[in-house]
Amino acid sequence: MTPANLGVVEQDTEIRSETNMSANLVGTIFAAADTRSSNNMRSRTLPLLIFAILCVALTPQYSRGQAGPPLFTDDPDTPGNGHWEINFAVTVLQTRDTRLLGLPLVDVNYGLGERLQLKAEVPWLVLQDRHGESTQSGIGSTNIGLKWRFVDHGEHGLAISTYPQLEIRTSASSARRMLVEPGSELRLPIEMSRELGPVKIVGEFGYQIVQHEKDEVIYGLAMEREVTKRFELLGELHGEAKRDFSEKKLLFNLGGRFKLMKDSTLLFSAGRSFRTALPDHPTFAAYVGLQFHF
């Protein structure tokens, strides 16, 4: 066998191995979807998450992690000066009674300098009733944001950012059809990241001002590990609650990033809530998309 043929065989072996990892990951996702936690575990989840986020800030030997799409938890990273990061995705958020699809979700990000990022995001939404009622569709709310990484100690240093985002109702018709909330929302989060051994960890905590409703808090803990040079395994716990920590929603999510070419990456994730018995809690959530960066 010639050296050239040997290189082709080795590359084919690596691609098959990565494909098998992706297939195993899908199986793991749906196995996790059937896992039930006890009431005692659910009641302690939020304090454990806050403790884990504090550990991210206080443990030595750290570096910037990578969360964000396809996860709900954001990270301090930005695209870089003059660079674009554009995500085209199909999203699913299913509850006991409805299924909300983003077909597609378009998310455009641009780097202003090395520490600033501009964001604009809008979906086309399809709302399906799981009991046979008519399907509704229309444009979703527009989300605009500005991320500023105000602490940056380099590749192997702590990174902390703030990421204000304003969600504005784009269409009154979409609000009447229950596709979007009737008012606007202002999200004020803080993100941080660092490395603990081979695992990168990202924490996020924030406050969300909601028009016409009680304000909310958001929190998340995400982990990422590079399995091969082209495949990253991702996981997160992401929660939302009213400002008095009532009506808690906690989602477990598992996914990955698979590098297709130099400037494109396949993104995917799937997960579910720990409390699926309530009508507005997600029984299933999924994200599949392509990310282009240039």
Q: What is the secondary structure of 159-228 as a DSSP string? A: EEEE--EEEE---HHHHHTTSS-SS-EEEEEEEEEEEETTEEEEEEEEEEEETTS--EEEEEEEEEEESS
Is residue 14's pLDDT more than 70? no
Residue 21: predicted pLDDT: 44
CATH number for the domain spanning 22: value is 2.40.160.40
Task: Write out pLDDT tens, residues 157-208.
Answer: 789 999 999 999 988 899 888 889 888 999 999 999 997 777 889 999 999 9
Residue 239: predicted pLDDT: 93
Is residue 55's pLDDT more than 60? no
CB proximity list for 40: less than 8 A, separation 6 or greater: none
Give exposure, 3-32, as e/b (b: 16+ Cβ within 10 Å): eeeeeeeeeeeeeeebeeeeeebeeebeee
Task: Write out pLDDT tens, residues 218-256.
Answer: 999 999 998 999 999 999 999 999 998 888 889 999 999
Residue 231: predicted pLDDT: 95
The CA dihedral of 22, 23, 25, 30, to the nearest 10 degrees, is: 140
What is the amino acid identity at position 182? P
φ/ψ of 30, rounded to 5, equals -75, -25
Q: pLDDT band for 156, please (50, 70, 90 cuts).
A: low
Residue 47: predicted pLDDT: 44
CA dist 23 → 18, 20, 46 (Å): 9, 5, 31
Q: How open is the CA angle 188-48-148, to the nearest 5 degrees?
A: 25
Q: pLDDT band for 23, please (50, 70, 90 cuts).
A: very low
Cα–Cα distance between 80 and 294 in angstroms, integer?
A: 10
Residues 85, 109 contacting (CB under 8 angstroms): yes
Is residue 217's pLDDT more than 70? yes
Residue percentage of the chain with pLDDT more than 70:
75
Span of 28-37, 190-199, 222-231, 284-293 with lowest mean pLDDT: 28-37
CB neighbourhood size of 180 (10 A): 25
Residue 155: predicted pLDDT: 66
Sign of CA dihedral 108, 255, 208, 150: negative
Is residue 84's pLDDT more than 60? yes
Residue 99: predicted pLDDT: 94
33 or 84: which leads in pLDDT: 84
Residue percentage of the chain with pLDDT more than 90:
57
Structure tokens at 287: 């994200």
Contacts 24+ apart (CB under 8 A), 249-252: 249/273, 249/275, 249/280, 249/281, 249/282, 250/42, 250/45, 250/46, 250/274, 250/275, 251/72, 251/282, 251/285, 252/32
Mean pLDDT of the chain: 81
Of 50, 154, 165, 55, the C-alpha closest to 109 is 165
Is residue 4's pLDDT more than 70? no
Domain holding 199, by residue range, is 3-293
Residue 162: predicted pLDDT: 98
Q: pLDDT band for 282, please (50, 70, 90 cuts).
A: confident
Is residue 53's pLDDT more than 50? no
Is residue 74's pLDDT more than 90? yes
Cα–Cα distance between 134 and 59 in angstroms, integer?
A: 52
- The arithmetic mean of pLDDT across residues 87-110, rounded, is 95
Domain count, the chain: 1
